[in-house]
Structures are given as C-alpha cells and as structure tokens.
Amino acid sequence: MFKSVKPIYLYCVILALSAIALGFSDSIFSNYYKDAYQITAYQRGLVEFPRELPGVLCIVLISSLSFLGDIRMAIVAHILSAAGVLLLGLFTPEFNVMLIFLFVNSLGMHMFFPLQDGIAMSLIGKENIGKEMGKLKGISTAFMMIAGIIVFFGFRVDFFSFVTPIKSIFVISGILFIIITILFIVLQKLVNSPIQQKRKVKILFRKEYKYYYILAIMNGVQKQIIFVYGPWVLIDLLSQQTDTLALINIFGSLLGIFFIPKLGKWIDKLGLKKMLFADALSFITIYILYGLLSLGFVSGFIPKVGFPVYLAIGILVLDKLSMQMSIIRVVYLKSISIDPSDITPTLSLGISMDHIVAITCAYLCGIIWSEAGPHYIFFLAAAFSLVNLYVAFKVQDKPIEIK
C-alpha cells in the first residue's frame, strides 16, 4: 500500500500530525496547570523541572539508543509521548503523580526534537537545504495553526475542558501519537539510508561547534522565559483563558506559513551571518517591549483591558515567529559539520545544554517574578540575547554542503 509513496511525502504527513498532537498537548499545558491545579507563578517555575529534565537527559538517551537508528528511536519517542499524554487525559491524579505522567510525555517529545531535524536533512535533496527545511517547517506551522483553531473553538464552546474527569483533548493527542508511531514503522521500511542504520554509541563534543553550543544555551534562556512566563502574564495578570493562548498559536502559525519558507530562502540568499544578526535583534526587541508592557501592568500605569491586552498578545505572536528562526541554528550546524553523522548527536547535546539552562532559569525566574516582578524576567532575557549578537559577529558564512 505504501511502497509507491516517497519517504519525504510520508514524513510530511508525520510532521503534520505531530504538529496537531503537540498543539493538543504541549502548547496548552500552562492553562492545564492553572485550571486543573490552580498553581502559582512560583510553582509554575518548579513544574518545569520534570517537564524539561528529559531535555537534559536527551544526549544520554540518544547516545544510548543510537544503535537503533534515528527512525527506530523516533518510534520509541512517540510511544512514550502517547503513554504520558493518554494518562494525563484519562485521569486527574494528584499533583505529584501528574508530574510523573508529564515527565513520560516530555521524555518522548524531547527525544524526537533532535531526531526530527536529523531525519529531515537525511530525506531532503542535496541542494537548497535552507529552502527545503523551510518548507518542512512551514508544513508543521500550518498544521499547528489548524490545531490552534480547533483548540480555540473547542474551549470556547466547552467541548474541551481541563476541569472534567477526562481531558478529551489529551486523549486525542495520545491517539495521534500512536498513529505517528505506526507511520514511522512504515517509513522505516521505505528508506534505505544512514538514518536507519545501527551506529556506535557516542556523546559528541567538538570545539569546532562551540558557537552552535553557545546558541543552544542561549536558546534555553530565551525559550524558557517566553514559553513559560510570556503566557503566564496573560494567564495570571490578565486572567486570560485557553482560547486566548490558542489565538496566539493560530495567528503565529498563520504568519509562519508564509514567513518560514521565506526564512529558508533568505538563509540561502543572504547567508547565515546576516540571519544570525536578525535572529538576535528580534529577541532583544521582543523582550524589551514585553518587559515594558509587564511593568505597566504591574504598576497600574497600563490598564489590563482593551488595547494593551491585544498588544501583549501581538508581541507573543511575533515571538512565535522569532522562535521559528531556530532553523537558522540547524542550518548553521549543517554548514560547519565535519561529518554527517555528527548532526544528530550534536543536536542532542545542544538540546541537553539548552535544557540544563532552562531548568535553572525557570526556577530562578519564578523567584524573580514573586519577589521583584515579572518585567525583570524579560529585561534579563533581552540582556542575555546580546550573546547572540556576539556569536553573529564571530561566525563566518560557509557554503552549505551535503557530505
């Protein structure tokens, strides 16, 4: 039945379903914590430990299971993702038990992150890698938007809820992860490339990749602050519900459908150095603006209704686009890779570095929010983003070759 299907087309279907599954789970966890468990900002930071710990363990997991090959590891990853989110959907356990289920789901999700780009770069052609990666990211973004639309209307009409015994949206997400697992089994039979070959276990660290490691670490700071505490401004300070967060995903994804393919073309046309500058400046601008807005909300200088709320939502939409520029880091790694087999373990190490910083950052930022105010968190993120500018100054453009 699937023998005539090109592997890259089947992988596009996998990416589409994966985007919807994540849109039905990972993208709305913040509202789940608030509605089902009524947690505080400080507790929100603590929750990130079990959710992000799998990212720290990512390099160990990928290295230990590398004998399976990338596709078989992706199968294991989606089995874990399905198990975790199905347990969250079918039960409303005690808070501490919920964290265990969350850990299982996150373990699978974080395993797939480095595999996703590694598999993609092995399946696409040998030319215009930026453009082709942009197309694949565009597919994920389009279906993330579809997920956002479903979430928006589902919660708006009370079809979905986090206060019912069974969280149907998590159950649907789990079923989608199971379908993806089956499709990966089919993909494994279709391909005949290094992505399914057995490899030696290795944890790779090369000095030649130092700037990639720095970018990965900075991403841990930036991502954690805006992913955790950006929506928390809306949820905790402005009392916004799940449908508002869904709107951010919808508009961010809608713009991303057009932005991300263009981004891939810009990488090929303008070069990585200029795009790294653009990436750094986008982070600095967004965090300064969001910090000023948060300061206004806390001080009472800016009202918590009307246009300022829409402005906060708009800034988070722009941040969604800014976070999509992570493709620049992946293509940069490809351009400097010494060996094609370095890519997946290096991406895995980068994710582990990212998450070590992210866990620490989440905890400290929870304290900063409680003791000083949310605006200091975003100003701190803007200051850290100056490191991205430093890297942009230091790297040299290289032609992207498929070895």
pLDDT in tens, 306-339: 898 899 999 888 888 777 777 788 788 878 888 7
Supply φ then ψ for residue 389, to 5 degrees: -65, -40
- CA-nearest of 349, 350, 289, 371 to 322 is 289
pLDDT at 198: 47
Lowest mean pLDDT among 3-7, 42-46, 375-379: 3-7
DSSP one-letter string for 227-282? IIIHHHIIIIIS---HHHHHHHHHHHHHHHHHHHHHHHHHHHHH-HHHHHHHHHHH
Supply φ then ψ for residue 116, to 5 degrees: -55, -50
Please tell me the distance from the alpha carbon of residue 101 to that of residue 107, in angstroms, as a whole number. 10
- CA-nearest of 366, 55, 106, 105 to 219 is 55
pLDDT in tens, 266-277: 887 888 888 889
- Three-state secondary structure string covering 303-364: CCCCHHHHHHHHHHHHHHHHHHCHHHHHHHHHHHCCCHHHHHHHHHHHHHHHHHHHHHHHHH
pLDDT in tens, 30-59: 889 988 898 877 788 778 788 878 877 777
- CA-nearest of 233, 220, 202 to 344 is 202
Identify the top-confidence range among 19-23, 38-42, 135-139.
19-23
pLDDT at 117: 78
pLDDT at 102: 94
Whether the CB-CB separation of 85 and 173 falls below 8 Å is answered with yes
Q: Which amino acid does the sequence have at 214?
A: I
Please tell me the distance from the alpha carbon of residue 385 to that of residue 221, in angstroms, as a whole number. 9
Chain position carrying tokens 């660290």:
205
Please tell me the distance from the alpha carbon of residue 139 to that of residue 134, in angstroms, as a whole number. 9
Whether the CB-CB separation of 190 and 10 falls below 8 Å is answered with yes
Mean local confidence (pLDDT), 90-100: 92
CB count, 10 Å around CB of 291? 20
The pLDDT mean for the chain works out to: 84
Whether the CB-CB separation of 71 and 187 falls below 8 Å is answered with yes
> How far is Cα of residue 400 from the mean position of the Cα atoms in its chain?
24
Whether the CB-CB separation of 381 and 225 falls below 8 Å is answered with yes
Lowest mean pLDDT among 90-94, 192-196, 290-294: 192-196
What is the token pair recorded at 242? 């799940």
Q: Alpha-carbon Rg of the chain, whole angstroms? A: 20
What is the token pair recorded at 99? 């964290």
What is the token pair recorded at 384? 């850290």
Element (H, E) at 87: helix 70-90
Structural domains of the chain ordered from first start: 7-394 (1.20.1250.20)
What is the token pair recorded at 309? 């709320």
pLDDT at 295: 92
Whether the CB-CB separation of 321 and 252 falls below 8 Å is answered with yes
Under DSSP, the state recorded for 149 is H
Instruction: Name the band, by pLDDT with cuts 50, 70 and 90, for residue 194.
Output: very low
